[in-house]
Structure 1
Amino acid sequence: MGFETISIGSLFAITAVLVVIAIEAGYWAGHAVHRHRENEKESAVSTIVSANMALLAFVLAFTFAIVSNLYEARKTLVREDANAIRTAFLRADFLPEADRGKVAELFAEYVDLRVRMAQGPSPESIRQGLIRSERIHRQLWEMAIAHARTGTNPPIPNLYIPALNEMIRVYALRVDIALETRLPRNIWLVQYTLLVLAMAGFGYQMANAGSRRSWATPCLALSFAVVIALIASLDRPMSGYFTAPQQPMADLQAEIAAAMQSRQRHQDGPGLE
Protein backbone atom coordinates (compact mmCIF):
# COMPACT_ATOMS: atom_id res chain seq x y z
CA MET A 1 0.00 0.00 0.00
CA GLY A 2 1.43 3.38 -1.03
CA PHE A 3 1.12 6.75 0.63
CA GLU A 4 -1.32 7.84 -2.11
CA THR A 5 -3.92 5.36 -0.84
CA ILE A 6 -3.89 6.82 2.68
CA SER A 7 -6.24 9.75 3.21
CA ILE A 8 -4.92 13.02 4.64
CA GLY A 9 -6.96 12.55 7.82
CA SER A 10 -5.67 9.02 8.31
CA LEU A 11 -2.11 10.16 7.67
CA PHE A 12 -2.54 12.86 10.31
CA ALA A 13 -3.81 10.35 12.89
CA ILE A 14 -1.15 7.75 12.05
CA THR A 15 1.63 10.32 12.40
CA ALA A 16 0.37 11.59 15.75
CA VAL A 17 0.04 8.06 17.15
CA LEU A 18 3.44 7.09 15.74
CA VAL A 19 5.13 10.05 17.44
CA VAL A 20 3.55 9.21 20.82
CA ILE A 21 4.53 5.54 20.51
CA ALA A 22 8.10 6.42 19.53
CA ILE A 23 8.48 8.80 22.49
CA GLU A 24 7.01 6.20 24.87
CA ALA A 25 9.29 3.47 23.51
CA GLY A 26 12.33 5.73 23.90
CA TYR A 27 11.23 6.64 27.42
CA TRP A 28 10.97 3.00 28.50
CA ALA A 29 14.28 2.17 26.84
CA GLY A 30 15.88 5.09 28.66
CA HIS A 31 14.56 3.87 32.01
CA ALA A 32 15.83 0.34 31.36
CA VAL A 33 19.28 1.56 30.37
CA HIS A 34 19.47 4.14 33.15
CA ARG A 35 19.01 1.46 35.84
CA HIS A 36 22.16 -0.31 34.66
CA ARG A 37 24.21 2.68 33.45
CA GLU A 38 23.57 5.53 35.81
CA ASN A 39 26.83 7.19 34.80
CA GLU A 40 25.63 7.98 31.26
CA LYS A 41 26.00 11.70 30.86
CA GLU A 42 22.92 13.69 30.02
CA SER A 43 24.91 16.17 27.93
CA ALA A 44 26.03 13.45 25.52
CA VAL A 45 22.48 12.20 25.05
CA SER A 46 21.23 15.76 24.62
CA THR A 47 23.79 16.40 21.88
CA ILE A 48 22.77 13.28 19.96
CA VAL A 49 19.06 14.09 20.26
CA SER A 50 19.66 17.68 19.13
CA ALA A 51 21.54 16.41 16.08
CA ASN A 52 18.66 14.05 15.22
CA MET A 53 16.13 16.86 15.63
CA ALA A 54 18.17 19.15 13.40
CA LEU A 55 18.43 16.46 10.73
CA LEU A 56 14.67 15.85 10.93
CA ALA A 57 13.99 19.58 10.61
CA PHE A 58 16.25 19.75 7.56
CA VAL A 59 14.47 16.86 5.82
CA LEU A 60 11.03 18.32 6.60
CA ALA A 61 12.10 21.72 5.25
CA PHE A 62 13.60 20.10 2.15
CA THR A 63 10.42 18.10 1.52
CA PHE A 64 8.19 21.11 2.10
CA ALA A 65 10.24 23.12 -0.40
CA ILE A 66 9.68 20.43 -3.04
CA VAL A 67 5.90 20.27 -2.63
CA SER A 68 5.50 24.05 -2.33
CA ASN A 69 7.43 24.48 -5.59
CA LEU A 70 5.13 21.95 -7.24
CA TYR A 71 2.11 23.89 -5.97
CA GLU A 72 3.50 27.12 -7.43
CA ALA A 73 4.20 25.32 -10.70
CA ARG A 74 0.58 24.15 -10.85
CA LYS A 75 -0.67 27.72 -10.34
CA THR A 76 1.64 29.00 -13.08
CA LEU A 77 0.53 26.27 -15.47
CA VAL A 78 -3.12 27.23 -15.04
CA ARG A 79 -2.29 30.71 -16.35
CA GLU A 80 -0.14 29.34 -19.15
CA ASP A 81 -2.83 26.85 -20.09
CA ALA A 82 -5.49 29.56 -20.27
CA ASN A 83 -3.24 31.83 -22.36
CA ALA A 84 -2.34 29.02 -24.77
CA ILE A 85 -6.00 28.09 -25.27
CA ARG A 86 -6.95 31.74 -25.73
CA THR A 87 -4.27 32.23 -28.40
CA ALA A 88 -5.29 29.10 -30.29
CA PHE A 89 -8.97 30.06 -30.08
CA LEU A 90 -8.34 33.53 -31.50
CA ARG A 91 -6.11 32.24 -34.29
CA ALA A 92 -8.78 29.73 -35.27
CA ASP A 93 -10.41 32.68 -37.09
CA PHE A 94 -7.87 32.01 -39.86
CA LEU A 95 -9.73 28.80 -40.65
CA PRO A 96 -12.28 28.81 -43.49
CA GLU A 97 -15.69 30.12 -42.54
CA ALA A 98 -17.27 26.68 -42.90
CA ASP A 99 -15.21 25.22 -40.04
CA ARG A 100 -14.97 28.17 -37.66
CA GLY A 101 -18.22 27.37 -35.91
CA LYS A 102 -17.29 23.72 -35.30
CA VAL A 103 -13.82 24.66 -34.02
CA ALA A 104 -15.28 27.33 -31.73
CA GLU A 105 -17.69 24.77 -30.26
CA LEU A 106 -14.81 22.37 -29.63
CA PHE A 107 -12.83 25.07 -27.85
CA ALA A 108 -15.85 26.01 -25.73
CA GLU A 109 -16.44 22.37 -24.77
CA TYR A 110 -12.73 21.95 -24.04
CA VAL A 111 -12.59 24.88 -21.62
CA ASP A 112 -15.88 23.89 -19.94
CA LEU A 113 -14.46 20.40 -19.49
CA ARG A 114 -11.25 21.70 -17.91
CA VAL A 115 -13.18 23.89 -15.46
CA ARG A 116 -15.44 20.99 -14.42
CA MET A 117 -12.44 18.71 -13.92
CA ALA A 118 -10.91 21.22 -11.50
CA GLN A 119 -14.18 21.74 -9.59
CA GLY A 120 -14.98 18.06 -8.98
CA PRO A 121 -11.71 16.14 -9.01
CA SER A 122 -12.89 12.56 -8.62
CA PRO A 123 -10.74 9.83 -10.25
CA GLU A 124 -13.50 8.81 -12.65
CA SER A 125 -14.35 12.38 -13.73
CA ILE A 126 -10.66 13.11 -14.30
CA ARG A 127 -10.22 9.94 -16.36
CA GLN A 128 -13.22 10.73 -18.53
CA GLY A 129 -12.14 14.35 -18.83
CA LEU A 130 -8.66 13.40 -20.00
CA ILE A 131 -10.05 11.01 -22.59
CA ARG A 132 -12.41 13.65 -23.98
CA SER A 133 -9.72 16.36 -23.92
CA GLU A 134 -7.37 14.24 -25.98
CA ARG A 135 -10.14 13.49 -28.46
CA ILE A 136 -10.76 17.20 -28.87
CA HIS A 137 -7.01 17.68 -29.44
CA ARG A 138 -7.10 15.14 -32.24
CA GLN A 139 -10.16 16.71 -33.84
CA LEU A 140 -8.67 20.21 -33.78
CA TRP A 141 -5.32 18.97 -35.05
CA GLU A 142 -6.81 16.91 -37.89
CA MET A 143 -8.91 19.87 -39.05
CA ALA A 144 -5.91 22.20 -38.95
CA ILE A 145 -3.69 19.77 -40.86
CA ALA A 146 -6.41 19.11 -43.45
CA HIS A 147 -6.60 22.83 -44.25
CA ALA A 148 -2.83 23.31 -44.11
CA ARG A 149 -2.32 20.63 -46.76
CA THR A 150 -4.51 22.47 -49.24
CA GLY A 151 -1.96 25.30 -49.33
CA THR A 152 -4.69 27.88 -49.97
CA ASN A 153 -4.58 29.64 -46.60
CA PRO A 154 -0.95 30.34 -45.45
CA PRO A 155 -1.85 31.78 -41.98
CA ILE A 156 -3.12 28.36 -40.90
CA PRO A 157 0.26 26.60 -40.79
CA ASN A 158 2.14 29.78 -39.89
CA LEU A 159 -0.01 30.95 -36.97
CA TYR A 160 -2.79 28.60 -35.93
CA ILE A 161 -0.90 25.29 -35.94
CA PRO A 162 1.96 26.51 -33.69
CA ALA A 163 -0.63 27.96 -31.26
CA LEU A 164 -2.52 24.65 -31.25
CA ASN A 165 0.71 22.75 -30.73
CA GLU A 166 1.60 25.00 -27.76
CA MET A 167 -1.85 24.42 -26.25
CA ILE A 168 -1.37 20.65 -26.42
CA ARG A 169 2.15 20.93 -24.99
CA VAL A 170 1.01 22.95 -21.96
CA TYR A 171 -1.86 20.52 -21.43
CA ALA A 172 0.55 17.56 -21.33
CA LEU A 173 2.84 19.43 -18.92
CA ARG A 174 -0.05 20.34 -16.66
CA VAL A 175 -1.28 16.75 -16.55
CA ASP A 176 2.22 15.55 -15.73
CA ILE A 177 2.71 18.04 -12.87
CA ALA A 178 -0.80 17.71 -11.43
CA LEU A 179 -1.48 13.98 -11.78
CA GLU A 180 1.82 12.17 -12.10
CA THR A 181 4.53 14.11 -10.24
CA ARG A 182 4.63 13.07 -6.60
CA LEU A 183 7.15 12.87 -3.80
CA PRO A 184 9.14 9.65 -4.24
CA ARG A 185 8.28 6.90 -1.79
CA ASN A 186 11.88 6.82 -0.57
CA ILE A 187 11.60 10.41 0.65
CA TRP A 188 8.50 9.49 2.66
CA LEU A 189 10.31 6.48 4.15
CA VAL A 190 13.35 8.55 5.10
CA GLN A 191 11.11 11.23 6.57
CA TYR A 192 9.20 8.79 8.78
CA THR A 193 12.34 6.90 9.76
CA LEU A 194 13.99 10.09 10.98
CA LEU A 195 10.78 11.11 12.73
CA VAL A 196 10.59 7.83 14.68
CA LEU A 197 14.29 7.88 15.59
CA ALA A 198 14.22 11.54 16.67
CA MET A 199 11.12 11.04 18.83
CA ALA A 200 12.52 7.85 20.37
CA GLY A 201 15.70 9.76 21.20
CA PHE A 202 13.61 12.53 22.73
CA GLY A 203 11.85 10.03 25.01
CA TYR A 204 15.18 8.43 25.89
CA GLN A 205 16.57 11.83 26.87
CA MET A 206 13.61 12.50 29.17
CA ALA A 207 14.14 9.20 30.97
CA ASN A 208 17.88 9.73 31.19
CA ALA A 209 17.34 13.13 32.78
CA GLY A 210 14.99 11.60 35.35
CA SER A 211 12.03 13.56 34.05
CA ARG A 212 8.46 12.31 34.26
CA ARG A 213 6.22 12.07 31.23
CA SER A 214 5.05 15.47 30.05
CA TRP A 215 1.53 16.48 29.04
CA ALA A 216 3.22 18.46 26.25
CA THR A 217 3.94 15.20 24.41
CA PRO A 218 0.54 15.16 22.62
CA CYS A 219 1.16 18.75 21.52
CA LEU A 220 4.47 17.70 19.99
CA ALA A 221 2.79 14.76 18.27
CA LEU A 222 0.03 16.97 16.85
CA SER A 223 2.58 19.53 15.65
CA PHE A 224 4.49 16.97 13.61
CA ALA A 225 1.23 15.45 12.37
CA VAL A 226 0.11 18.86 11.09
CA VAL A 227 3.38 19.37 9.21
CA ILE A 228 3.24 15.90 7.63
CA ALA A 229 -0.42 16.40 6.66
CA LEU A 230 0.45 19.78 5.13
CA ILE A 231 3.21 18.24 3.03
CA ALA A 232 0.89 15.43 1.89
CA SER A 233 -1.89 17.92 1.01
CA LEU A 234 0.46 20.01 -1.14
CA ASP A 235 1.69 16.83 -2.80
CA ARG A 236 -1.86 15.77 -3.72
CA PRO A 237 -3.66 18.47 -5.73
CA MET A 238 -6.73 16.25 -6.08
CA SER A 239 -7.18 16.09 -2.30
CA GLY A 240 -9.04 19.42 -2.39
CA TYR A 241 -7.04 21.08 0.39
CA PHE A 242 -4.62 23.03 -1.81
CA THR A 243 -6.10 23.43 -5.27
CA ALA A 244 -4.47 25.79 -7.74
CA PRO A 245 -6.76 28.82 -8.36
CA GLN A 246 -8.75 28.32 -11.56
CA GLN A 247 -9.74 31.96 -12.11
CA PRO A 248 -7.74 32.28 -15.37
CA MET A 249 -9.71 29.35 -16.78
CA ALA A 250 -13.00 30.77 -15.50
CA ASP A 251 -12.21 34.11 -17.17
CA LEU A 252 -11.38 32.33 -20.43
CA GLN A 253 -14.61 30.37 -20.20
CA ALA A 254 -16.56 33.63 -19.94
CA GLU A 255 -14.62 35.16 -22.85
CA ILE A 256 -15.31 32.21 -25.14
CA ALA A 257 -18.98 32.14 -24.15
CA ALA A 258 -19.27 35.87 -24.96
CA ALA A 259 -17.49 35.35 -28.29
CA MET A 260 -19.83 32.50 -29.17
CA GLN A 261 -22.89 34.62 -28.36
CA SER A 262 -21.54 37.51 -30.43
CA ARG A 263 -20.86 35.19 -33.34
CA GLN A 264 -24.34 33.72 -33.10
CA ARG A 265 -25.96 37.18 -33.13
CA HIS A 266 -23.86 38.10 -36.16
CA GLN A 267 -24.99 34.98 -38.00
CA ASP A 268 -28.66 35.54 -37.13
CA GLY A 269 -28.48 39.07 -38.54
CA PRO A 270 -29.41 42.46 -37.06
CA GLY A 271 -33.05 41.97 -37.77
CA LEU A 272 -33.26 39.14 -35.19
CA GLU A 273 -31.45 40.94 -32.34
Structure 2
Amino acid sequence: MVLDPIPLVILFLMTIVLVLVSVEAGSALGRRAHHGDNPEKGEPISGVSGAVLSLTAFMLAFTFSMVANRYDLRMQLVRDDANDIRTLYNRTDMLPSPIDRSDARELVKSYLDQRLAYADKSNMDPAHMHNVLLDSKRIEKRLWDIAMRNVHGDMNSDYAALLIESLDDVASAQASRVDVVSESRIPSGIWIVLYGLTILGMMSIGYHSAIVQSRRSKATVLLALSFATVISFLVSMDRPDGFIEVTQQPLIDLKDWIADGES
Protein backbone atom coordinates (compact mmCIF):
# COMPACT_ATOMS: atom_id res chain seq x y z
CA MET A 1 0.00 0.00 0.00
CA VAL A 2 1.11 3.55 -0.70
CA LEU A 3 1.38 4.54 3.00
CA ASP A 4 2.94 1.30 4.30
CA PRO A 5 6.59 2.44 4.14
CA ILE A 6 5.81 5.43 6.39
CA PRO A 7 5.87 4.79 10.18
CA LEU A 8 2.71 5.90 11.96
CA VAL A 9 4.48 8.57 14.02
CA ILE A 10 6.05 10.07 10.89
CA LEU A 11 2.70 9.88 9.11
CA PHE A 12 1.04 11.73 12.01
CA LEU A 13 3.63 14.52 11.91
CA MET A 14 3.53 14.71 8.11
CA THR A 15 -0.24 15.12 8.17
CA ILE A 16 0.03 17.97 10.67
CA VAL A 17 2.57 19.74 8.46
CA LEU A 18 0.48 19.05 5.36
CA VAL A 19 -2.63 20.61 6.92
CA LEU A 20 -0.77 23.70 8.14
CA VAL A 21 1.02 24.18 4.82
CA SER A 22 -2.26 23.76 2.92
CA VAL A 23 -3.97 26.41 5.07
CA GLU A 24 -1.02 28.76 4.54
CA ALA A 25 -1.03 28.14 0.78
CA GLY A 26 -4.76 28.83 0.60
CA SER A 27 -4.28 32.00 2.64
CA ALA A 28 -1.55 33.21 0.29
CA LEU A 29 -3.78 32.63 -2.73
CA GLY A 30 -6.64 34.42 -0.96
CA ARG A 31 -4.54 37.49 -0.21
CA ARG A 32 -3.51 37.75 -3.84
CA ALA A 33 -7.11 37.41 -5.00
CA HIS A 34 -8.36 39.94 -2.46
CA HIS A 35 -5.90 42.63 -3.51
CA GLY A 36 -6.51 42.16 -7.22
CA ASP A 37 -8.46 44.41 -9.57
CA ASN A 38 -11.70 42.55 -8.94
CA PRO A 39 -11.57 41.27 -5.30
CA GLU A 40 -13.72 38.29 -4.43
CA LYS A 41 -16.45 38.29 -1.82
CA GLY A 42 -16.47 35.99 1.20
CA GLU A 43 -19.97 34.52 0.77
CA PRO A 44 -19.36 32.42 -2.38
CA ILE A 45 -16.02 31.22 -1.04
CA SER A 46 -17.71 30.15 2.20
CA GLY A 47 -20.11 27.93 0.22
CA VAL A 48 -17.29 26.36 -1.78
CA SER A 49 -15.23 25.76 1.38
CA GLY A 50 -18.20 24.13 3.10
CA ALA A 51 -18.80 21.84 0.12
CA VAL A 52 -15.16 20.72 -0.03
CA LEU A 53 -15.06 20.08 3.72
CA SER A 54 -18.32 18.11 3.46
CA LEU A 55 -16.77 15.93 0.78
CA THR A 56 -13.72 15.44 3.01
CA ALA A 57 -15.96 14.44 5.93
CA PHE A 58 -17.81 12.00 3.66
CA MET A 59 -14.53 10.45 2.54
CA LEU A 60 -13.37 10.11 6.14
CA ALA A 61 -16.65 8.41 7.09
CA PHE A 62 -16.45 6.12 4.04
CA THR A 63 -12.88 5.09 4.88
CA PHE A 64 -13.75 4.54 8.54
CA SER A 65 -16.65 2.30 7.52
CA MET A 66 -14.30 0.18 5.42
CA VAL A 67 -11.63 -0.23 8.09
CA ALA A 68 -14.22 -0.84 10.84
CA ASN A 69 -15.85 -3.62 8.81
CA ARG A 70 -12.45 -5.19 8.16
CA TYR A 71 -11.59 -4.95 11.86
CA ASP A 72 -14.84 -6.74 12.80
CA LEU A 73 -14.11 -9.39 10.17
CA ARG A 74 -10.59 -9.95 11.53
CA MET A 75 -12.05 -10.39 15.02
CA GLN A 76 -14.57 -12.92 13.73
CA LEU A 77 -11.88 -14.83 11.84
CA VAL A 78 -9.82 -15.19 15.03
CA ARG A 79 -12.84 -16.71 16.78
CA ASP A 80 -13.52 -19.00 13.82
CA ASP A 81 -9.87 -20.04 13.72
CA ALA A 82 -9.91 -20.94 17.43
CA ASN A 83 -13.15 -22.92 17.07
CA ASP A 84 -11.86 -24.86 14.06
CA ILE A 85 -8.56 -25.73 15.78
CA ARG A 86 -10.45 -26.80 18.93
CA THR A 87 -12.66 -29.10 16.85
CA LEU A 88 -9.64 -30.55 15.07
CA TYR A 89 -7.90 -31.19 18.38
CA ASN A 90 -10.97 -32.96 19.77
CA ARG A 91 -11.36 -35.10 16.67
CA THR A 92 -7.83 -36.43 16.94
CA ASP A 93 -9.25 -38.65 19.71
CA MET A 94 -11.07 -40.55 16.96
CA LEU A 95 -7.83 -41.88 15.48
CA PRO A 96 -7.55 -45.61 16.23
CA SER A 97 -3.79 -45.67 16.63
CA PRO A 98 -2.38 -44.29 19.92
CA ILE A 99 0.73 -43.17 18.05
CA ASP A 100 -1.34 -41.27 15.49
CA ARG A 101 -3.41 -39.69 18.25
CA SER A 102 -0.33 -38.51 20.09
CA ASP A 103 1.37 -37.23 16.93
CA ALA A 104 -1.76 -35.44 15.75
CA ARG A 105 -2.27 -33.70 19.10
CA GLU A 106 1.32 -32.46 19.14
CA LEU A 107 0.96 -31.22 15.59
CA VAL A 108 -2.25 -29.35 16.43
CA LYS A 109 -0.53 -27.70 19.40
CA SER A 110 2.38 -26.70 17.18
CA TYR A 111 -0.06 -25.36 14.62
CA LEU A 112 -1.73 -23.26 17.30
CA ASP A 113 1.65 -21.83 18.27
CA GLN A 114 2.24 -20.89 14.63
CA ARG A 115 -1.10 -19.10 14.46
CA LEU A 116 -0.16 -17.04 17.52
CA ALA A 117 3.30 -16.36 16.08
CA TYR A 118 1.72 -15.09 12.85
CA ALA A 119 -0.30 -12.54 14.83
CA ASP A 120 2.61 -11.47 17.04
CA LYS A 121 3.00 -7.73 16.47
CA SER A 122 6.49 -7.71 17.99
CA ASN A 123 7.85 -9.46 14.90
CA MET A 124 6.09 -8.47 11.68
CA ASP A 125 9.15 -8.96 9.46
CA PRO A 126 7.96 -10.27 6.06
CA ALA A 127 10.59 -13.04 6.04
CA HIS A 128 9.48 -14.18 9.51
CA MET A 129 5.82 -14.12 8.49
CA HIS A 130 6.61 -16.13 5.38
CA ASN A 131 8.46 -18.77 7.41
CA VAL A 132 5.58 -19.01 9.89
CA LEU A 133 3.14 -19.67 7.05
CA LEU A 134 5.47 -22.30 5.57
CA ASP A 135 5.70 -24.05 8.94
CA SER A 136 1.90 -23.98 9.23
CA LYS A 137 1.55 -25.56 5.79
CA ARG A 138 4.06 -28.27 6.70
CA ILE A 139 2.04 -29.11 9.81
CA GLU A 140 -1.17 -29.20 7.76
CA LYS A 141 0.53 -31.62 5.35
CA ARG A 142 1.63 -33.92 8.17
CA LEU A 143 -1.86 -33.91 9.67
CA TRP A 144 -3.29 -34.62 6.25
CA ASP A 145 -0.94 -37.58 5.82
CA ILE A 146 -2.14 -39.01 9.15
CA ALA A 147 -5.77 -38.63 8.08
CA MET A 148 -5.13 -40.19 4.66
CA ARG A 149 -3.30 -43.12 6.23
CA ASN A 150 -6.38 -43.86 8.32
CA VAL A 151 -8.73 -43.39 5.37
CA HIS A 152 -6.77 -45.89 3.31
CA GLY A 153 -6.85 -48.30 6.23
CA ASP A 154 -10.64 -48.10 6.41
CA MET A 155 -12.36 -46.51 3.41
CA ASN A 156 -15.70 -46.48 5.30
CA SER A 157 -14.32 -44.69 8.35
CA ASP A 158 -16.58 -41.80 9.36
CA TYR A 159 -13.99 -40.73 11.92
CA ALA A 160 -11.36 -40.11 9.27
CA ALA A 161 -13.89 -38.17 7.21
CA LEU A 162 -14.64 -35.91 10.17
CA LEU A 163 -10.91 -35.36 10.72
CA ILE A 164 -10.46 -34.42 7.06
CA GLU A 165 -13.40 -32.03 7.34
CA SER A 166 -11.75 -30.32 10.31
CA LEU A 167 -8.46 -30.07 8.44
CA ASP A 168 -10.25 -28.38 5.55
CA ASP A 169 -11.92 -25.93 7.93
CA VAL A 170 -8.61 -25.08 9.63
CA ALA A 171 -6.84 -24.54 6.30
CA SER A 172 -9.70 -22.34 5.06
CA ALA A 173 -9.65 -20.28 8.25
CA GLN A 174 -5.93 -19.67 7.88
CA ALA A 175 -6.28 -18.67 4.23
CA SER A 176 -9.05 -16.23 5.12
CA ARG A 177 -6.98 -14.64 7.91
CA VAL A 178 -3.94 -14.25 5.67
CA ASP A 179 -6.07 -12.72 2.93
CA VAL A 180 -7.87 -10.24 5.18
CA VAL A 181 -4.89 -9.26 7.34
CA SER A 182 -2.14 -9.05 4.75
CA GLU A 183 -3.73 -8.69 1.34
CA SER A 184 -7.25 -7.22 1.52
CA ARG A 185 -6.23 -3.69 2.44
CA ILE A 186 -7.77 -0.29 1.81
CA PRO A 187 -6.83 0.56 -1.82
CA SER A 188 -4.12 3.16 -2.31
CA GLY A 189 -6.48 5.23 -4.44
CA ILE A 190 -8.75 5.85 -1.44
CA TRP A 191 -5.85 7.22 0.64
CA ILE A 192 -4.80 9.44 -2.26
CA VAL A 193 -8.32 10.83 -2.65
CA LEU A 194 -8.65 11.32 1.12
CA TYR A 195 -5.40 13.26 1.36
CA GLY A 196 -6.24 15.20 -1.79
CA LEU A 197 -9.59 16.32 -0.38
CA THR A 198 -7.93 17.17 2.94
CA ILE A 199 -5.44 19.43 1.15
CA LEU A 200 -8.18 21.13 -0.85
CA GLY A 201 -10.36 21.54 2.24
CA MET A 202 -7.56 23.13 4.25
CA MET A 203 -6.67 25.41 1.33
CA SER A 204 -10.27 26.54 1.10
CA ILE A 205 -10.23 27.44 4.80
CA GLY A 206 -7.10 29.54 4.39
CA TYR A 207 -8.43 31.11 1.20
CA HIS A 208 -11.71 32.10 2.82
CA SER A 209 -9.95 33.57 5.86
CA ALA A 210 -7.79 35.75 3.62
CA ILE A 211 -10.74 36.91 1.53
CA VAL A 212 -12.69 38.08 4.59
CA GLN A 213 -9.45 39.52 6.03
CA SER A 214 -9.71 37.44 9.17
CA ARG A 215 -6.64 36.92 11.31
CA ARG A 216 -5.20 33.43 11.12
CA SER A 217 -6.58 31.57 14.14
CA LYS A 218 -4.31 29.64 16.46
CA ALA A 219 -7.03 26.99 16.42
CA THR A 220 -5.63 25.94 13.03
CA VAL A 221 -3.11 23.87 14.98
CA LEU A 222 -6.00 22.05 16.68
CA LEU A 223 -7.52 21.43 13.26
CA ALA A 224 -4.23 19.95 12.04
CA LEU A 225 -3.96 17.75 15.13
CA SER A 226 -7.54 16.54 14.70
CA PHE A 227 -7.10 15.55 11.04
CA ALA A 228 -3.73 13.94 11.75
CA THR A 229 -5.21 11.93 14.62
CA VAL A 230 -8.19 10.65 12.62
CA ILE A 231 -6.19 9.75 9.51
CA SER A 232 -3.44 8.06 11.56
CA PHE A 233 -6.13 6.12 13.42
CA LEU A 234 -7.62 4.89 10.13
CA VAL A 235 -4.20 3.91 8.78
CA SER A 236 -3.42 2.04 12.00
CA MET A 237 -6.65 0.04 11.82
CA ASP A 238 -5.82 -0.92 8.24
CA ARG A 239 -2.28 -2.09 9.02
CA PRO A 240 -1.48 -5.52 10.48
CA ASP A 241 1.14 -3.87 12.72
CA GLY A 242 -0.98 -0.88 13.73
CA PHE A 243 -1.54 0.11 17.34
CA ILE A 244 -5.24 -0.86 17.04
CA GLU A 245 -4.72 -4.51 17.91
CA VAL A 246 -7.02 -7.41 17.08
CA THR A 247 -7.06 -9.54 20.20
CA GLN A 248 -5.86 -13.12 19.89
CA GLN A 249 -7.52 -14.05 23.18
CA PRO A 250 -9.64 -16.87 21.70
CA LEU A 251 -6.46 -18.62 20.54
CA ILE A 252 -4.72 -17.93 23.86
CA ASP A 253 -7.72 -19.35 25.73
CA LEU A 254 -7.64 -22.43 23.52
CA LYS A 255 -3.95 -22.96 24.25
CA ASP A 256 -4.65 -22.70 28.00
CA TRP A 257 -7.60 -25.09 27.64
CA ILE A 258 -5.39 -27.69 25.91
CA ALA A 259 -2.69 -27.29 28.55
CA ASP A 260 -5.23 -27.68 31.37
CA GLY A 261 -6.67 -30.80 29.76
CA GLU A 262 -3.25 -32.45 29.57
CA SER A 263 -2.14 -31.53 33.07
Bucket of the pairwise TM-score, normalised by the shorter protein: over 0.9
Q: Which digits, 9 at most, give the CA deviation of each residue in 1:146-179, with x for residues without a partner?
A: 2112226612343111111111101110111111
Distance 2:190 2:45 in 1: 27
When normalised by structure 1's length, the TM-score is: 0.91
Amino acid at match of 1:45: I
Counterpart of 2:48 in structure 1 is: 48
Comparing 211-220 with 15-24, greater Cα deviation is found at 211-220
* Pair 1:30-2:30 in alignment: yes
Amino acid at match of 2:191: W
Counterpart of 1:107 in structure 2 is: 108
Distance 2:203 2:100 in 1: 69
Alignment partner of 2:216: what SS? coil
* Pair 1:212-2:215 in alignment: yes
Q: Which digits, 9 at most, give the CA deviation of each residue in 1:206-248, with x for residues without a partner?
A: 0001111111111111110001100000001223x11111111
Tell me by how many angstroms 1:255 deviates: 1.6
* Pair 1:199-2:202 in alignment: yes
Among 246, 255, 258, the residue aligned to 1:256:
258
Instruction: Answer yes or no: is the 8 Å Cα contact 1:82–1:249 preserved in 2.
Output: yes
Tell me by how many angstroms 1:258 deviates: 2.7
Distance 1:106 1:100 in 2: 10
Distance 1:259 1:126 in 2: 30
Instruction: Answer yes or no: is the 8 Å Cα contact 1:94–1:155 preserved in 2.
Output: no
Counterpart of 1:143 in structure 2 is: 146
Instruction: Answer yes or no: is the 8 Å Cα contact 2:151–2:161 preserved in 1.
Output: no
Q: Structure 1 pair 257/37, CA: closer, same or farther in 2 (3 Å)? A: farther
Q: Structure 1 pair 77/158, CA: closer, same or farther in 2 (3 Å)? A: same
When normalised by structure 2's length, the TM-score is: 0.94
Distance 1:95 1:157 in 2: 7
Amino acid at match of 1:255: W
Alignment partner of 2:241: what SS? helix
RMSD: 1.5
Tell me by how many angstroms 1:38 deviates: 5.1
Q: Which digits, 9 at most, give the CA deviation of each residue in 1:31-62, with x for residues without a partner?
A: 00110155422110000000000000000000
Alignment partner of 1:245: what SS? coil
Amino acid at match of 1:61: A
Q: Where do residues 72-83 of structure 1 align in structure 2 (5 Å cutoff)?
A: 72-83=72-83
Number of equivalenced pairs? 260
* Pair 1:171-2:171 in alignment: no
Tell me by how many angstroms 1:121 deviates: 3.5
> Gapped runs of 5+ residues in structure 2?
none
Alignment partner of 1:211: what SS? coil
Alignment partner of 2:35: what SS? helix
* Pair 1:94-2:94 in alignment: yes
Among 184, 189, 192, the residue aligned to 1:186:
189
Amino acid at match of 1:87: T
Q: Structure 1 pair 203/62, CA: closer, same or farther in 2 (3 Å)? A: same
Among 216, 221, 226, the residue aligned to 1:223:
226
Instruction: Answer yes or no: is the 8 Å Cα contact 2:151–2:160 preserved in 1.
Output: yes
Q: Structure 1 pair 3/256, CA: closer, same or farther in 2 (3 Å)? A: same
Distance 1:39 1:196 in 2: 24
Instruction: Answer yes or no: is the 8 Å Cα contact 1:108–1:257 preserved in 2.
Output: no
Q: Identical aligned pairs, as a percentage?
A: 40
Counterpart of 2:19 in structure 1 is: 19
